[in-house]
Structures are given as structure tokens and as C-alpha cells.
Structure 1
Amino acid sequence: MALLKTEGLTKMFGNFKAVDDINIDVQKGEVYGFIGPNGAGKSTTIRVLLGMLKATNGKASIFGKDVWQDAVEIHKRIAYVPGDVNLWPNLTGGEVIDLFMKLRGGAMNKNRREELIGKFNFDPSKKCRTYSKGNRQKVSLIAAFASDADLYILDEPTSGLDPLMERTFQECVMEARDEGKSVLLSSHILSEVERLCDRVGIIRDGQIIESGSLDELRHLTRTNLNVETKQQITSLDDMKGVHHVERKEQALSLQVDTENLDDVIRHISQFGVVKLESAPPTLEDLFMRHYEGASASGGES
């Protein structure tokens, strides 16, 4: 059974439909990537899951409990990190971490707390009013990963972190997954999602437009080819599924729709292949292809 599940989840603000008939599920021991641009509906969905907003239609449950009616019970077993953390200015970072952990109830894992403070290179003795955005984010991340949660809901959690701390965050997510914990990760950093997530859902204008594992979604993307041949390749631009051809003497680079790759390779081989390099499609390729398509058809880009 899924730890987190939505069925036809819809949220209206007046006449504006911020979230439209969303169906997602997060399984035990899984990292689920929830991606889309600002305004797509990610944070609204997460606020409904946290019991901060009431859904207009549809269902949402965590641990088999209704997210609105059983929010207090659910919060005892989840940890949440927002993308913009507001803290009490006159408390120290360490005091806020302890407060967050006590609010969840249960025993405090002081050893884990100290381990994470060291990993994130964080000074817990300073007042929160002196912290940069990145350090405020560390407070929330340390409190979350030091808690014994079954589900982590992370909404743009690395906002303000430097690349070294982003790597530390990624290690924490992978450790949680290895322990059988589940993670819902909302992020605009596609390389981060690609590295961490078992499955992804792409949201646009309040709707899930694609979901599945990265392997399942790669058939929708294009393979990048770099080719060098003995003779100049002809008639390539007219072939089905070929895009963005760039020529330089006997070498060229191009993108090929996966379903047309076999035909294109057969055509190229007639001209005496000297070198052929292939790069698999990335999550960014998939993401940008969807938004390029929306822009071309008159939708939002």
C-alpha cells in the first residue's frame, strides 16, 4: 500500500484551479520527484498534503489517514522542509532545532543531531537573525533528518545551499531511503531529481502531464548523437524524428527521437562511420521538451 496517495485531488481558489485532478502515490522506501516551474501547483499540492489547505475535490491520504481530518496524527510521523524557512530571530539555531524535534514528540536522537550539525558545517550557537538563507535552510534540514520520520516532504529544500551542502543533503536523502523511509521531493534542480528519485511526476498548470520511473519516461525524449563519417551524410534533415542538426565538415551532432533511432543509425552507416557517440536522454531533455511543446501550442512556457 502507498504511504502517500492522492486521487483526483483538486484545489480551487475562487475560479482559479491551482491543482487539477492530481493522482500521485509514494511507496515505502521510495524517493518521488515532484517537478515543475514556479506556479505549476507543487506547493499548493504539498500544503493540501500537510493539512494546511483543504482540498476542493478528491482525496488525499498519508499512512492511510485523511490528510485534513487526521493531520495531527500524520504529523507525528512526517518531517517537512519548506523552501523558505522563517525562524525566531532571538533563538539560536540549536534551540530552534531542539524545538522542532520536541514538537514532533518522541525521544530526541542527540547523537544524530550532532552528526548532522557536523555534516552541514553548521554553527548552532548563533542567533537566527544572523543566519543567511542557506543557514536557515540548514536548521530545517537538520531538524528533519534528525527526527525518526517515516515520510519526508521536502519542498525546494536546497534553496540557498552551496553545491557542497547540496551534496550533503543528497547523502541524507539516500541514507533515509536505504533505511526504508519515503521521500516526496519537490525541486526545480533537475540533476538533483535525476540522481535521487526512483520515480517522477511532472506538473504543469496544475495537472500531472507525465509520471513514472526515469527509464519509463526516456522513450519520450531524444537521444543525442555525435557522428563523424568518411563521406558527407545527405538527406538527413528530411528524416522523421531528426532534430537540431549541426554540421562541421564530416562531423555533425543531432538529436533523434528514440522511436526513430534505428532508422537514423541505418541511414548514417551508409556513409562510413568513423566515430559515433551516443548520450542518453536526461530528465532535463524530457522536461524542456514538454514545455517547448506547450509554448509552441500557445500554452505557458
Structure 2
Amino acid sequence: MVLLFISGFHRPRGWRRLLAEELPDLDFRVWADEAGDPADIDFALAWDPPMGELARYPNLKAIFSLAAGVDHLLKDPALPEVPLIRMVDPALISGMNEFVIHHVLHFHRRFDVFEERQRRREWKELPAADTACRRVGVMGLGAIGSAVAGKLGGLGFAVAGWSRSAKEIGGVESFDGEDALIPFLNRTEILICLLPLTPATEGIINKETLAALPEGAYVINCARGGHLVEDDLLAALDSGRLAGAALDVFRAEPLPREHPFWRHPKVIVTPHIASLAVPRSAVPHIAENIRRIENGQPPTNQVSRERGY
């Protein structure tokens, strides 16, 4: 068995070592220097490979995503028709919980305001903040979104979620379908985007949807940059209609140095680090699916190419 590791971002060392422990007979190769004969490759573990690259391997049995989302793979029109398997990693969920909770609390407690007052050396309080009165909304209730919504509910926030189909999550009000999007936004003071990026969700955070949020709302995008129409967000921030935004993902990454987000006083920028796969917790799921495929069983956590997730 030969697995090809393709990523310009992730370091292969930990993946190689842990996969060797799980699958001693696995030949782990790093693209491109170690790829060898394309006909040798059985599996690919990939993040954002070059267009057409995966089509070069005629005996590929499955493609494993190195990220929770698979848009970086599905954008390739030449993607081989083999099982596409999403990343399953408890660390992805815990990392996203940490990132979102940090920023929700930052905005809920108005630390953005206090940071500005510190710069002005202004000692001035704000009224006490009550989590039960803070309406938080999560767009996207997949495995990660559902976990985040549940954690926020556990902190006492008034949490709602919006998704393609109805979901039942304890303590979370569920909105589903296109007709429910605007009512969901109307009640949401802190909006968190955790949607998969598909043709249906491209540009979903735009002038119209931002206008549906209450005045003074905040936006947290830690899904994909393609969800956000950046100029529409800037206009809403500059007009004073929105109070702030925390952005971890962008249409162009790395974010260009001249981009206005870098210097905008109401924007927090992080470099796509909200949640990262950890080899220690992700490798057992990858190894189990390789075993299943080698034994003639269907892999788990397959992506629906039609839905895009």
C-alpha cells in the first residue's frame, strides 16, 4: 500500500510516524520528491493539491482530506471518481470550540470597546453583560457547528442554528432551509459561519444577509473566505451598522498586505488557524478507513459530491 501526502502547509513528519505505527506495511511518500511512479499510489492524503494533480494517479483508491472542508478538492474538475473522505478528528472540534468561544466572549463582554478605550487612556465602564440575553447564531450544523452550538449553549448564551435540514441539538433553537435564513439572522447578535463552501453557500454573507442582522451585530467567519463578500462587510462596518468582525479565512490567502482588513479598527485577523487537524487524533480514523478499503468494505465519512460535504 502506498499513500501520497500532498500539502504545502502541513508538516508530514508526525503523519508519517503515526501512520507507520497503525499500518506498518504502508509506504508513506511525500509529494513531490518522493512520489515515484504514479501507478504506485493507492491513497492520497491531501490539502489543496495543484489542479489536475490527483488525476495523474491511475490506481488511486481513495482521497483523504487534510481539512474538515473539501472545497479545496472539489474545485478540481479532473478530480478522480474515487471515494472522497472528510477529515474526522476530535482536535478539529476542540480547536474550533476554543476559537469561537474566545471571540464570542470577546464581543459579548465588549473587550473590543475596552481595547479602544485603553488606547485613548479612557477609564469608563459598560453595563454588565448577561449571556442569557445575548443571541448567538451558528450557520452550519454539521459535526463541528453542532458541537460549537452546544458548547455556547452550555455557557448560557441564547443559541440558534441554521442549516440545510432541521437539526435537534439540546438547548439550541433550530432554523432550516432558505426561507428560515432571514428570520434566523434577524434574531442573531453574534453570527458565526461554519458552513461548508458549496455553490449554494458561496457569498452567503453579503449585503442582504448582513442587513438582516440587528444593528450592532458581530460576524465571526471561520469556515471559508468564499462565504463572505468582503466589500459588503467593510461597508457595513464603516457605516456603523455592524460593530465588529473576527475573520480567520479569506478569499485570497495569505491575506494581501494591502488589504483593508489588516488595519481596520473593527476587524480581528487570524491566518486560517481556527482549527487544525492533529495527527495523534486524526490518524486512527484514516488508518481504519484504509483497512476497510483494503478489506473490500466501504469507507466511513464519505463526502457527497452532489452536496459538496
Same fold (TM over 0.5): no
Higher Cα radius of gyration: 1
Identify the structure with the greater strand proportion: 1
State the structure with bigger RCO (CA 8 A, min sep 6), 1 or 2: 1
Q: TM-score, normalised by structure 2?
A: 0.29
TM-score normalised by L of structure 1? 0.30
